[in-house]
Amino acid sequence: MHSKKYFIANWKMNGLKGDLNQISIIDNFLKKKNKLSALNCIFCIPYTILGLALINLKLKKVKIGAQDVSNEAFDFGPSTGQISSKMLKDLNCKFTILGHSEKRFNGDTEHQISQKIGMAVKNNIKVILCVGENLKDYKKKKSFYKVKKQLQLSLKKNKKYLKNIIFAYEPIWSIGTGIIPENSYLNNFFLKIKKYLKNEFKIKATVIYGGSVSPKNINELKNIDLCDGFLIGGASLKHKNFIDIIKKYYN
C-alpha cells in the first residue's frame, strides 16, 4: 500500500491569488516529512492562478497542473478563450486533468478528449484522464461497460502516449455527494480496469480513485489494494483537510 501514491487536487472553479498559500503550506508539510518522499502531489488549479503558482511559489514537493487544454491541433491562433498545451509548456506546467465529468457535461466529446491527450503529451504534459459512469448506468450495472467505452475511444489514437497517462476512475454519482462506492466494488472495479488496460493496450496502468475523498473516509478507501492514489476535489481546498487525508493514509 505504501508504494508511490498520487494525491492529486482538483480545485475546479475555485481559488484566488490569496488561496495559493494553501499549496505552500502543503509543500512545507511534505518537505518536513521525509518518509513521504515517495508521494506524488499535484495541484490542478484554474488558469488564472496557475502561472502565478508556477512562477512565484518555488515549490519543492507539490507540482502544479491544469484542468484542461485546448483540443485544437495548433499551438496559437483563432480560438478565443482556449489555452493551448504549448502555452502551459511555456510555464513549465507538467500535468493536466482531461475528460473530467464536469467538462464532459459541458460538451467535451470523446473525440475532443482524444485530441487533447495528443496535444498535451506532445508538449510534455502528463494527463490525468478522468473516466466514470453516472448513477443511472451504475444502477443498471453498466459501469464497466461505460468506462471501457470511454477508455477505448480516448486511447485508440493515442497508443504511443499511454505511458504519459494517469487514469482516474471517478463515478459521477460520487463526485461532491459524500457517497463513496463499497470497497468490494472498488477492488473489483480497479482489477477490471487494470486488466483491460493490460490486455487491450499492453500497459501496467496507474489508476487512482476520485469522488468525495475526505479525511472521514480515507481510512476506508486506503484498503483498495490496486488503487494508486486519489483525485481530491472539495477536500483539497483547505490545507488541513488535504494534509489530514495524507496523514491518515500513511498512519
Whose Cβ is closer to ligand PEP: residue 211's or residue 229's? 211
Query: How far is residue 197's CA from residue 226's CA, in Å, rounded to a whole number?
Result: 13
Are the CB atoms for 167 and 131 separated by under 8 Å? yes
Residue 147 in the binding site for ligand PEP (CB under 6 A): no
Q: Does residue number 41 form part of the binding site for ligand PEP (CB under 6 A)?
A: no
Largest CA-CA distance found in the chain, in angstroms, rounded: 51
- Binding of ligand PEP by 77 (CB under 6 A): no
**88 lies in the site for ligand PEP, by CB under 6 A:** no
In whole angstroms, what is the distance from residue 42 CA to residue 39 CA?
Answer: 10
> Where does this chain touch ligand PEP (CB under 6 A) — which range of 86-94, 117-125, 198-206, 210-218?
210-218
**Catalytic choice (102, 133, 170, 239):** 170
Q: Is 215 in the site for ligand PEP (CB under 6 A)?
A: no
* Alpha carbon distance 83, 70 (integer Å): 5
Q: Which is nearer to ligand PEP, 29 or 230 (CB)?
A: 230
In this complex, which beta carbon is closest to ligand PEP, that of residue 181 or of residue 210? 210
Please state the closest distance from residue 230 (CB atom) to ligand PEP, in A. 8
Cβ closest to ligand PEP, residue 12 vs residue 122 = 12
Question: Of 72, 100, 133, 239, which is the active-site residue?
Answer: 100
CB of 11 vs ligand PEP, minimal distance in Å = 10
- In the complex, the smallest distance separating the C-beta of residue 234 from ligand PEP, rounded to whole angstroms, is 3
Tell me which of 39, 42, 93, 175 binds ligand PEP, using CB under 6 A. Answer: 175
Phi and psi angles of residue 14, each rounded to the nearest 5 degrees, phi first: -135, 150
The yes-or-no answer on residue 100 being catalytic is yes
CB 174 within 8 A of CB 180: yes
Q: Residue 9, interface with ligand PEP (CB under 6 A)? A: no
Site for ligand PEP (CB under 6 A): how many residues? 13
Q: By CB under 6 A, is residue 132 in contact with ligand PEP? A: no
Q: Which three cell numbers stand for residue 107?
A: 460538451
- Rounded CA gap, 71 and 83, in Å? 9
Is 211 a binding residue for ligand PEP by CB under 6 A? The answer is yes
Residue nearest to ligand PEP (CB): 233
Phi, psi dihedrals of residue 127, rounded to the nearest 5°: -105, 135
Residues whose CB is less than 8 angstroms from the CB of residue 46 and which lie 6 or more positions away in sequence, other chains included: 11, 13, 14, 15, 67
Q: Give the residue ranges of DSSP H helices in the chain.
A: 20-32, 47-56, 85-90, 101-105, 110-122, 135-139, 143-155, 183-201, 218-221, 239-250
Minimal CA–CA distance to 216: which of 189, 172, 179?
Answer: 179
210 binds ligand PEP (CB under 6 A): yes
Point out the residues that are catalytic. 100, 170
Residues that bind ligand PEP (CB under 6 A): 10, 170, 175-176, 210-213, 231-235
